[in-house]
Amino acid sequence: MARVIVIASGKGGVGKTTIAANLGVCLGQAGRRTVLVDLDLGLRNIDVMLGLETVVLNHLGDYFEERMSAEEAATTDERYPGLSVLAAPQTMNPAGLEPGKLEKLIGELRETYDVILVDAPAGVGPVFAEAIRLADEGIVVTSPAVPAVRDADKVLHLMEAAGIQYRFVIVNLLRQRLLRSRVMMTPEDIQEVLGTPLLGVIPEDETALICCNTGVPAVTVRSMSGSALKRIAERVRGTALSLPPLNRRRGGLFRA
């Protein structure tokens, strides 16, 4: 049975698209028929993260405006076996998304794919609301900054109210030095405040930033963020990996 997993956050810029893209690459490689749905309508990013800017010809707007089927609107590339990408249209106004169109799309994708990864827009607007209504599982991404965690809490409550039973948190952009100096919320603190299980912890590292700029997914190069993302993908696949050892002194966190 297909799984629809929505990746959301209150704040923008916390790594949703990075995580969605890397999870998509890993799950596709692992033999899951995976589709990435970029719902940041009007603000396409996912193609850049995967180095597909010159490859993407069609997009979700083509599907929503009934110019083509979902399959025709999707992009595949030999670098990413098992993965299809439904890029966001670059000019669409999200307010113009007609009722029922997203539901129809997700229904069709459920017939074809094992995993449908929905990269939600930041915030709690109507597209987000529709996405969580249609999803089975929710991953909320936050940085360790207090405002981001507070917004993550709000997003988690909305997911619960929308009937998403399986909800997880990823803490991204963790800075080891700040953690050690005790001026930053720890993943333990965040897990406790949010009352939601941690799916993983990703350090802030230059590689993730460079990867985004060069269109090379972090999971395909040696890096701390790449290793963390691979372990998160394993957990999404259902492998019972231990959660991050939240032991700051031994620096075990980032091997998680």
Sign of CA dihedral 210, 215, 217, 221: negative
Among ligand ADP, Mg ion, none, residue 39 binds (CB under 5-8 Å by kind): none
Contacts of 150 (CB under 8 A, 6+ apart): 10
Question: C-beta of 20: minimal distance to Mg ion in Å?
Answer: 8
Distance of closest approach, residue 191 Cβ to ligand ADP, in angstroms: 18
List the one residue out of 102, 94, 154 whose CA is nearest residue 123: 154
Q: Contact at 8 Å (CB) between 38 and 90? A: no
Judged by CB under 5 A, does residue 172 bind Mg ion? Answer: no
Considering only residues 35 to 74 of the shown chain, the ones binding Mg ion according to CB under 5 A are: 45
Does 34 bind Mg ion (CB under 5 A)? Our answer is: no
Please give the residue ranges that form the binding site for ligand ADP (CB under 6 A). 9, 12-18, 45, 122, 172-173, 202, 204-205, 208-209, 212, 225
Q: Which residue is nearest to ligand ADP (CB)?
A: 212
Residue 18: contacted member of Mg ion, ligand ADP, none (CB under 5 to 8 Å, by partner type): ligand ADP
CB-based burial, 217-251: b 16+ in 10 Å, e otherwise: bbbbeebbbbbbbbbbbbbbeeeeeebbeeeeeee
Least Cβ distance, residue 45 to Mg ion (angstroms): 5
Among 3, 10, 17, 233, binds Mg ion (CB under 5 A): 17
